[in-house]
């Protein structure tokens, strides 16, 4: 399996080779083309100058006598070889003095540059390579034919120094391309490492998380997509760590909650079997009450589990939430009176119909009222109210249960809807409940599409609110 670093480097290498190679090739061709165009322009100017000079020479002397000196001067440093023939093709001058007196046909010379004086043909001149021979036109190494602006054949002669200059330029282009490619590859390796290094760190940390080490975190070194990925990984690891801690705490809490009633039941049964206790109504009642506690605890855990997994079945119907809380107020009023706690209700006379499960709504209100009564001392007051309220621009109803009990410390307030959470961890179940009541309220409310929250001032009381959409 190819690693990502190999894939990135391979793609980068291919890109560099193609881009640098094509650029160097294009630059090489363009340089050669422009250089040859430059030579052609120079040669064309040279041929035009030769033609003009020889034309003036013939006009002045009316013959080609002693023209060899002029021909040598005209050739100068341009390279190659100049020949001059008269109108009949007889070579009258040669910068190399080899073919003078011979006919041009003997050396297959053709397409010469004409020299006309006053409309009369005076002769031809030829610009040849230095290695010309009788076997052909004499185009030597580095020579190319072209047309001058008069329509006559012109020879593009690239001399050895010029050819060397062109080769050097082409070589420089390729060397520059190779150096640029190496620099690009070096930079690419650096950038590849910058990408791969955090990915490798993420991979290592992910392996640790897979082994159950949820404390793993990766260092966020950038604000780009990789940085966002690292932040997402850290958030995921933190959530997993929190969930694992919650799971462990939940198992410990469940074991603790189950141990107490089971211990009471086991101790009572052992006492009866050993003859220490009589199997009378009092001891059997104790067993029944603790069994009921176990049943209620198991039922509460099942309800929370179903709600959290989205599998809680709600019997949705049109229900009057005002009638539900009136009924719950009536039921709790007896217990409140026994504890010398006053119950005040603020419920509109008209009905407040919503869609919901009447059984679950009864359970929500009953849990909040029981919680308020448990934390309100004798002489205190509980207020149960209902009102219409917009929440996040949605129409609905809000039910509030307020007490003037001991209140909740600010540090505990964000956790009161957690499972098995008690404000006083040492509090007995008889004083603080099982720690599942508020968790059930939260899950049941959210299952109805609602929200629940609490407000509290330490020493002055607490208010629990739940809102349900219409």
Same domain for 328 and 257: no
- Give per-residue burial for 276-315: e unless 16+ CB within 10 Å, then b: ebeeeeeeeebbeebeebbeebeebbebbeebeeeebebe
- Say if residues 257 and 299 touch (Cβ distance below 8 Å): no
* CATH code assigned at 414: 3.30.565.10
The model carries a pTM of 0.49
Please report whether residue 205 resides in a domain. no
pLDDT of residue 120: 87
Domain range holding 253?
A: 225-308
Q: Are residues 51 and 153 in the same domain?
A: yes
Q: CA gyration radius for the chain? A: 53
Domain boundary (146, 163, 180) is at 163
CA angle 462, 307, 397 (to 5 degrees): 50
Counting the structural domains of the chain, the total is: 3
- Same domain flag for 327 and 440: yes
Residue at 172 is within a domain: no
Residue 206 lies in a domain: no
In the sheet with 91-94, reading across from the earlier edge strand, the strands are 91-94, 81-86, 120-128, 113-117
How much is the pLDDT for 435?
67
Helix (H) or strand (E) holding 262: helix 225-273
Q: Which residues contact 248 (CB under 8 A, 6 or more apart)?
A: none
* Distance (Å, whole) CA 301 – CA 419: 9
pLDDT in tens, the chain (470 residues): 457 667 777 777 778 777 777 887 888 788 777 877 877 787 788 888 888 999 898 898 888 988 888 888 888 777 778 899 998 889 999 988 889 989 988 888 887 889 988 888 989 998 886 544 333 333 333 333 344 433 334 445 666 666 777 788 888 888 887 888 788 778 877 877 777 788 888 888 888 888 888 888 888 877 777 888 888 888 888 888 887 877 777 777 777 777 878 888 888 898 888 888 888 888 888 888 888 878 877 887 787 777 767 777 888 899 999 999 999 999 889 889 989 999 999 998 887 899 998 988 998 998 899 889 988 999 999 999 999 888 888 899 999 999 998 888 988 888 888 877 766 543 444 444 556 788 888 988 998 999 999 999 888 899 999 999 98
Q: Are residues 349 and 461 in the same domain?
A: yes
Of 288, 308, 328, which closes a domain?
308
Residue 300 sits in a domain of what CATH number? 1.10.287.130
447 shares a domain with 337: yes
The answer to whether residues 342 and 461 belong to one domain is: yes
The answer to whether residue 86 sits within a structural domain is yes
Q: What is the CATH number of the domain that holds 108?
A: 3.30.450
Q: Which is nearest to 466 in space by CA: 393, 361, 394?
A: 361
Minimal CA–CA distance to 419: which of 336, 303, 290? 303
Same domain, 459 and 383: yes
Same domain as 291, residue 373: no
| 372 and 276 in a common domain | no
String of DSSP letters for 275-341: TSS---HHHHHHHHHHHHHHHHHHHHHHHHHHHHTT------EEEEHHHHHHHHHHHHHHHHHHTT-
**Same domain flag for 303 and 347:** no
- Residue 180 falls inside a structural domain: no
Does 208 reside within a domain? no
């Amino acid at each position: 399996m190819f690693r990502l670093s190999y894939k990135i480097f391979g793609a980068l290498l291919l890109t560099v080779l193609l881009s640098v190679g094509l650029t160097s090739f294009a630059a090489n061709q363009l340089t050669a083309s422009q250089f040859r165009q430059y030579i052609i322009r120079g040669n064309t100017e040279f041929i035009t100058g030769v033609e003009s000079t020889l034309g003036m020479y013939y006009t002045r002397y009316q013959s080609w006598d002693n023209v060899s000196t002029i021909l040598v001067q005209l050739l100068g440093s341009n390279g190659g070889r100049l020949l001059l023939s008269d109108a009949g093709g007889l070579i009258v001058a040669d910068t190399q003095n080899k073919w003078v007196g011979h006919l041009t046909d003997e050396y297959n010379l053709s397409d010469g540059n004409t020299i006309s004086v006053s409309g009369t043909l005076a002769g031809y001149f030829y610009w040849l390579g230095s290695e010309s021979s009788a076997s052909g036109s004499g185009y030597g190494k580095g020579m190319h034919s072209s047309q001058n602006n008069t329509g006559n054949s012109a020879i593009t002669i690239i001399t050895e120094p010029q050819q060397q200059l062109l080769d050097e330029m082409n070589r420089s282009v390729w060397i520059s391309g190779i150096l640029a490619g190496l620099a690009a590859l070096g930079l690419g390796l650096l950038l590849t490492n910058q990408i791969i290094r955090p990915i490798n760190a993420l991979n290592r940390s992910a392996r640790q998380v897979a082994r159950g080490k949820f404390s793993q975190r990766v260092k966020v070194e950038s604000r780009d997509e990789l940085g966002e990925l690292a932040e997402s990984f850290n958030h995921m690891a933190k959530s997993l760590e929190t969930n694992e801690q919650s799971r462990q705490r939940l198992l410990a809490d469940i074991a603790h909650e189950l141990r107490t009633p089971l211990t009471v039941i086991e101790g009572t049964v052992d006492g009866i079997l050993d003859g220490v206790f009589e199997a009378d109504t009092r001891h059997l009642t104790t067993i029944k009450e603790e069994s009921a506690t176990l049943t209620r605890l198991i039922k509460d855990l099942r309800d929370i589990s179903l709600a959290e997994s989205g599998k809680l079945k709600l019997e949705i119907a049109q229900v009057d939430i005002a009638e539900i809380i009136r009924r719950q107020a009536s039921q709790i009023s007896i217990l409140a009176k026994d504890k010398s706690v006053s119950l005040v209700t603020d419920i509109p006379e008209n009905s407040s119909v919503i869609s919901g499960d009447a059984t679950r709504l009864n359970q929500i209100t009953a849990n909040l009222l029981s919680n308020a009564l448990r934390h309100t001392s004798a002489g205190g007051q509980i207020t149960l109210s209902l009102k219409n309220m917009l929440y996040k621009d949605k129409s609905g109803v809000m039910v509030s249960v307020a007490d003037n009990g001991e209140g909740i410390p600010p540090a505990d307030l964000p956790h009161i809807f957690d499972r098995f959470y008690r404000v006083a961890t040492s509090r007995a179940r008889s004083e603080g409940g099982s720690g599942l009541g508020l968790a059930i309220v939260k899950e049941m409310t959210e299952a109805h599409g609602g929200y629940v929250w609490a407000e509290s001032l330490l020493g002055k009381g607490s208010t629990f609110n739940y809102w349900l959409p219409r």
